């Protein structure tokens, strides 16, 4: 009975949301978006500060943002402050998890000895995954992906090692340092931009030709830091979850 009532309520609500959204002719229908009506228009032509008519891959150079990946240009340049906030969200939630679960005992939930295949396999795969992760965040301005997926990959690699190698578990605290280091450096880069050019998180490095590896100014640097930070934070969250309650 309760379920039916809730379904009816949500049905009515859904109906109103639908009609509220779609009865508005200004709400562009799915797929009919005209980018000229949106701020994204300028992101495509990279002409927020300088007017550009057309940006060409492999030819245009010294643009306001050198990223070939538009999403990356938004994430790290145009709306870089959001990204800083995003990193902070991850930082604070890993900290929260640590505060909540970190006081628990430091042992794995399931005591086991990793078998041979896991140990050898992990050691073999670890560099590959890590390398892929690093590749992804270094090429974040050229290909899909970036600091967050790359960081997650590194975290998964580390997790694998964590499961496989008991000695490795003792060294986990160094990730806290990496996290702190990466975060602080990110902010410091921003402040450096503020000091040199007057804008926080300004792209103070020259941008090269679009499509080159070293073409995107601070983007790769930021993405490396974000990747490290995300990797260490996710690792921290997972290791905290693996701890068990100690009876006091």
**Sign of the CA dihedral with 6 first, then 12, 13, and 18 last:** positive
Q: Which of residues 138-167 bind another protein (CB under 8 A)?
A: 142-144, 148
Distant-in-sequence, close-in-space partners of 109: CB < 8 Å, separation ≥ 6? 242, 243, 244
Cβ(227)–Cβ(129) below 8 Å? no
Among 120, 131, 170, 188, binds another protein (CB under 8 A): 188
Compute the least distance from the CB of residue 129 to another protein, in Å.
19
What CA–CA distance (Å, rounded) separates 159 from 235?
7
Q: Which of residues 208-237 bind another protein (CB under 8 A)?
A: 210-211, 237
Compute the least distance from the CB of residue 173 to another protein, in Å.
10
Q: Is 90 in the site for another protein (CB under 8 A)?
A: yes
Q: Is 26 in the site for another protein (CB under 8 A)?
A: yes
User: Tokens for 223?
Assistant: 């993405």
Q: Please provide the DSSP assignment of 141-163 as one string.
A: TTSS--HHHHHHHHHHHHHHHHH
Residue in 186, 171, 183 with CA at minimum distance from that of residue 221: 186
Q: Is 120 in the site for another protein (CB under 8 A)?
A: no
Compute the least distance from the CB of residue 47 to another protein, in Å.
9
Segment lying near another protein (by CB under 8 A), choices 52-60, 115-123, 124-132, 161-169: 52-60
Compute the least distance from the CB of residue 167 to another protein, in Å.
24
Among 130, 137, 164, 190, binds another protein (CB under 8 A): 190
């Amino acid at each position: 009975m309760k379920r039916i009532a809730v379904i009816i309520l949500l049905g009515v609500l859904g109906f109103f949301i639908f009609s509220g959204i779609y009865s508005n002719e200004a709400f562009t229908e799915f797929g009919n978006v005209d980018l000229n009506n949106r701020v994204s228009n300028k992101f495509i032509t990279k002409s927020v500060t300088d007017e550009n008519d057309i940006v060409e891959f492999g030819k245009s150079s010294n643009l306001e943002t050198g990223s070939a990946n538009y999403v990356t240009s938004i994430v790290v340049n145009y709306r870089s402050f959001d990204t800083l906030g995003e990193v902070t969200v991850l930082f604070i939630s890993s900290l929260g998890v640590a505060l909540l679960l970190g006081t628990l005992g430091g042992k794995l939930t399931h005591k086991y000895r990793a078998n041979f295949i896991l140990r050898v396999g992990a050691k073999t795969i670890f560099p590959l995954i890590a390398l892929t992760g690093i590749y992804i965040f270094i090429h974040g301005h050229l290909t899909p992906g970036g600091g967050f997926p790359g960081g997650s990959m590194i975290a998964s690699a580390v997790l694998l090692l964590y499961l496989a190698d008991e000695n490795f578990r003792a060294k986990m605290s160094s990730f806290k340092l990496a996290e702190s280091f990466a975060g602080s450096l990110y902010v410091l880069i921003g402040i450096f931009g503020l000091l040199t050019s007057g804008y926080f998180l300004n792209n103070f490095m020259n941008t090269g030709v679009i499509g080159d590896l070293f073409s995107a100014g601070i983007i790769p640097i930021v993405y490396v830091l974000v990747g490290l930070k995300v990797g260490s934070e996710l690792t921290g969250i997972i290791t905290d979850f693996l701890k068990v309650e100690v009876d006091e």
